[in-house]
Amino acid sequence: MRAHVPPSRFFIIATVAVSCWALLLRCFLLPSQPITTDDFSVGLTAINYMESGNLGPVMWNHPDLCNILVYGTLKCFGSGVWGLKIWSVLFGTLSVTFVALLGRRLLVNEAAALLAATLWSLDSLSIDLSRQAVHEVYQSFFPLAAIWLALNFRHTSRFRWLVAGGLLFGAGLACKWSALFPCVATVGLLLLDIRRSDDGVGGRLTRCAAITASLLIIPAVVYLLTFAPWFGRGYSLSEWFDLQKSMYRETKLHTGYTPVVNRDHSAHAWFIYPVAWQDLNLNVAETGTDASAMTVEKNVTVLLAVSNPLVWLLVLPGLIAVIRVGFRDRNREMLFLAVLFASAYLPLVLTFSRPIFMNTALTVMPYGVMMVGYLVVTLTSATSQRKTALFAYLFTVLLLSVPLYLLAIGKGNESPLLQRYLVGRFVNNSQKVLP
């Protein structure tokens, strides 16, 4: 384990700046962004869950922390944009902050961590889903924050970090089960540390018990407690286990609510060629609009997240670099990053029972951008024009991010060039959604 070095002043300032930049990108024109059916359904689902204990109508098979949080903000801020989306914006932004913080911990390289955070702040998928009410982006934030807290325990041995990490892993699990994979990987890392420690058998056992209790039992209890409104319908614990089975079956076999054809739905493709996540929605400007008067241009909004090839296609080379250096230098943090990536990604690649849509990459890509950050910083530092090369890369990514940003926030139709791309790729689907 490496000695803990406090972050430089530059790193702190830059992390705050990147986080503010991420917040700006996630809030820009948000109140005027067309409201999707999913946005509306998230509000209904939150009320349905908190006031009646019912699951659904949207994503009944996922746990319900999102409903609890959204219901709270609906009560505080009303059913406006912030009542509905503040958590997505907040967690989407904080995921950028924690990419920097965790990246610094794992890569021991502030430049790489900052580059990773910048890449994540610009990522089309993260931006798109941070601007929607659905809870997808929560899955980027909770595991990152929980791992960072658990690693603080690793360096300080103060149990409060461990308990806080356990609570956040629990919150992550209570959004989606995918938080389980990084949680188990983190427990594994901390238990491996015990093997190497100089403590006696008693000391090792107590440390082992503390880790297991904090990172497995506490998350399980948090997860259970979020079902309180559902228990209020009269259900018992044995029926809760039956519900978990139902949720698992649906999650395992879920095919989405729109046809799978023409949609990117294979996790193995994510880092091989550019992929996209699309939300097509019908909106009318006033009530009572005649269905026959609707057109694709006027009434269909496409929120389209396209992977930036300059980032996503470097993930696998980044993984190789991290593993190589990890083994060469016996760098456990680097190897842990590779394990985090693999534990989040491989279960998706190896899922054959259902399509895996690109939105799920939100659980994988935070580790991906850390590896890309490391790769780019390492490669550019080998050149004589280190800073120039790094900024050239960043500038090119930024340039490509402009059209991707417009597509992600639903402004693709307003640029003739992007509209041609949208119509060319999605017009058939769009016409199908018209009544």
Kindly state the smallest distance separating residue 24's Cβ from other proteins, in Å.
Answer: 20
Kindly state the smallest distance separating residue 329's Cβ from other proteins, in Å.
Answer: 31
Question: Contact between 382 and other proteins (CB under 8 A)?
Answer: no
Two tokens at 301? 């909004």
Based on CB atoms, which residue is closest to other proteins, 4 or 249? 249
Based on CB atoms, which residue is closest to other proteins, 160 or 268? 160
Least Cα distance to 156 among 286, 384, 164, 407 occurs for 164
Residue from 2, 4, 75, 233 touching other proteins (CB under 8 A): that is: 233
Binders of other proteins in range 102-161 (CB under 8 A)? 157-159
Interhelix angle for 218-225 vs 159-173, to 10°?
Answer: 40
Residue from 12, 28, 56, 395 touching other proteins (CB under 8 A): that is: 56
Kindly state the smallest distance separating residue 69's Cβ from other proteins, in Å.
Answer: 16
Based on CB atoms, which residue is closest to other proteins, 84 or 362? 84
DSSP character string of 2-29? PPP-PPPHHHHHHHHHHHHHHHHHHHTT
∠ Cα 344 218 50 (to 5°): 90
- Residues near 244 by Cβ (< 8 Å), separated by ≥ 6? none
Based on CB atoms, which residue is closest to other proteins, 44 or 192? 44
Query: Which amino acid, 125?
Result: L
Instruction: Break the chain down into helix, strand, coil percent, rounded to 5.
Output: 70, 5, 25
Entry field: residues in the chain:
435
| Choices 43-51, 183-191, 355-363, 416-424; region in contact with other proteins by CB under 8 A | 43-51
Residue from 16, 29, 76, 217 touching other proteins (CB under 8 A): that is: 217
Report the C-alpha gap between 306 and 124 in whole angstroms. 6
Question: Contact between 31 and other proteins (CB under 8 A)?
Answer: yes
Binders of other proteins in range 293-322 (CB under 8 A)? 299
- Cite the DSSP H helix spans in 226-328: 228-231, 237-253, 296-299, 309-312, 315-328
CA dihedral sign, ordered 315, 316, 320, 323: positive
Binders of other proteins in range 156-215 (CB under 8 A)? 157-159, 162-163, 166, 202-203, 206-207, 209-210, 213-214
| Choices 113-121, 243-251, 272-280, 362-370; region in contact with other proteins by CB under 8 A | 243-251
Residue from 9, 196, 245, 328 touching other proteins (CB under 8 A): that is: 245
Kindly state the smallest distance separating residue 213's Cβ from other proteins, in Å.
Answer: 4
Report the C-alpha gap between 397 and 203 in whole angstroms. 49
Kindly state the smallest distance separating residue 28's Cβ from other proteins, in Å.
Answer: 16
- Residues near 47 by Cβ (< 8 Å), separated by ≥ 6? 71, 74
Residue from 14, 25, 55, 145 touching other proteins (CB under 8 A): that is: 55
Residue 34: asked if its preceding bond is cis (omega within 30°), the reply is no
Helix (H) or strand (E) holding 201: helix 201-212
Residue from 3, 201, 237, 293 touching other proteins (CB under 8 A): that is: 237
Residue from 13, 228, 260, 417 touching other proteins (CB under 8 A): that is: 228
Based on CB atoms, which residue is closest to other proteins, 232 or 259? 232
The number of beta carbons lying within 10 Å of the beta carbon of residue 166 is 27
Question: Contact between 44 and other proteins (CB under 8 A)?
Answer: yes
Kindly state the smallest distance separating residue 297's Cβ from other proteins, in Å.
Answer: 16
| Choices 114-122, 264-272, 281-289, 311-319; region in contact with other proteins by CB under 8 A | 281-289
Kindly state the smallest distance separating residue 184's Cβ from other proteins, in Å.
Answer: 17
| Choices 123-131, 269-277, 284-292, 374-382; region in contact with other proteins by CB under 8 A | 284-292
Two tokens at 166? 């356990």
Kindly state the smallest distance separating residue 266's Cβ from other proteins, in Å.
Answer: 21
Query: Going along 258-386, which residue ranges are E strands?
Result: 276-282, 300-306
Residue from 15, 19, 61, 178 touching other proteins (CB under 8 A): that is: 61
Report the C-alpha gap between 125 and 307 in whole angstroms. 7
Burial 99-108 (b: 16+ CB within 10 A, else e): bbbbbbbbbe
Question: Contact between 342 and other proteins (CB under 8 A)?
Answer: no
